[in-house]
Amino acid sequence: MKILFLCNKSPWPPKEGGPIAMNMLIEGLVMAGHSVKVLAINSFKYQVDPELIPREYADQTGIELIGLDLKVKPLAAFLNLFTRRSYHVVRFISERFRNKLIQVLTSDRYDIVQLETLYLCPYIDTVRKYSEAKIVLRAHNIEHLIWERVAGEAANPLKRLYLRHLAKTLKEFEMGVLNRLDGIAAITANDAGFFRNVLEGEQPSAAGSRWAAVPVIDIPFGIDPEQYPFSPEKAEFPSLFTIGAMNWIPNEEGVRWFIKNVWPDVHRQYPELKYYLAGREMPQWMKLLDLTNVVVIGEVENAYEFMTSRSIMIVPLFSGSGIRIKIIEGMACGKTIISTRLGAEGIDYTNRENILIADLPCEFFDMITICAGDEEYCRQIGKNGRDLVIRRFNRESIIEKLVGFYRTILG
């Protein structure tokens, strides 16, 4: 089978959630004997030097990167307020990318064109015109829900108003594109259920009519267990850490909330306990944090080594959708995870057995207190979490499921 991936970021190097999720499927399909071609957007949000992509990877994927300016332009963003177009989406429309896509589609035949995220959907018409391939949307999130939740958390009235406009126009685009697809591969069962409800007519389309029958499946993020050896003895105990791309608003807001509402009490109770912050694109306020025992590291070269060397992973998320790949990776490393219910969405967890759930400041404090006082309990939670992801998120079985979905669509 020949699959063309259209990606909103380069899947290589896999250093943050989106690229990690894309790369998992790409490498898994190649290992399963399928032919894969990758055409990806290269922007300041995830800038990649093509010369640094390993030769073997480039040969296996035929990866090509097309530069695109995704920077928010204040005038264009303001004028967008007076339109019904999604500013999130229009930034991804590029004549250069379209021309390269036409060249790729006319030079080879593909069975599947997989759109990685909603933001590649403006190219559906181009794919239809120049290829007979079936089009599958890989939905990493229900995108408009992220922005609805972010808007709901905004304290500034003007910012809240603008974010609501962004969420509304994004929702109109997202809902309007679903019945133009041949299949949807959502990243969680909850997200798949949402799309099915829309497509089955439980929520009316923008035109008020019923939707076409588009097959939907949940294809979660998967791991290769051999890439995550379990080494609990290497971890600094007790220690707290958060790792993630900090240019993603839910991550940044979650860290801000934790430092303001939880960390002061934790530090008073455990003055020697350290909280490590790691991730790409840290905002200036985070880099300038001057709090005792809050260690701001920034981007790390090896996320696995960073996670392995600490013991308790804090994931304070209150907005977002999809699945938290860093939680899956943390579980694979045998880490004790403390997260919100929203942060743990899409993971078939059991609270206090393979993850610890906290939504309120007092709940985070209580969970940290339990963990800091019982290293053996932490190790057991981590081991149970690792067992869960190896069983539920094994890459090989996920690839088999995805290929079966492709074959169903192809008929």
Counted domains in the chain: 2
Q: Retrieve residue 114's tokens.
A: 């997989």
pLDDT tens, position by position, 219-277: 999 888 888 888 777 889 999 999 999 988 889 999 999 999 999 999 999 999 999 99
Q: Which residues contact 407 (CB under 8 A, 6 or more apart)?
A: none
209/231 same-domain check: no
250/318 same-domain check: yes
Q: How far apart are CA 335 and CA 312, in angstroms?
A: 6
185/234 same-domain check: no
373/399 same-domain check: no
233/212 same-domain check: no
Task: Give the pLDDT confidence score for residue 107 in this predicted structure.
Answer: 97
Confidence of residue 100 (pLDDT cuts 50, 70, 90): very high
Q: What CATH number does residue 85 fall under?
A: 3.40.50.2000
The dihedral region occupied by 318, where left means phi > 0, alpha psi between -120 and 50, and beta the remainder, is alpha
187/259 same-domain check: no
Burial 304-329 (b: 16+ CB within 10 A, else e): eebbbebbbbbbbbbbbbbbbbbbbb
93/176 same-domain check: yes
- What domain range is 161 assigned to? 2-222+395-410
Amino acid identity at 385: G
List the alpha helices (DSSP H) in 244-312: 249-261, 263-269, 284-287, 303-308
144/285 same-domain check: no
Amino acid identity at 201: G
246/188 same-domain check: no
Q: How far apart are CA 236 and CA 90, in angstroms?
A: 46
385/402 same-domain check: no
More confident residue, 222 or 185: 185
182/263 same-domain check: no
Residue 205 has pLDDT above 60, yes or no: no
Contact at 8 Å (CB) between 92 and 37?
A: no
38/134 same-domain check: yes
Share of the chain above pLDDT 90, in %: 77
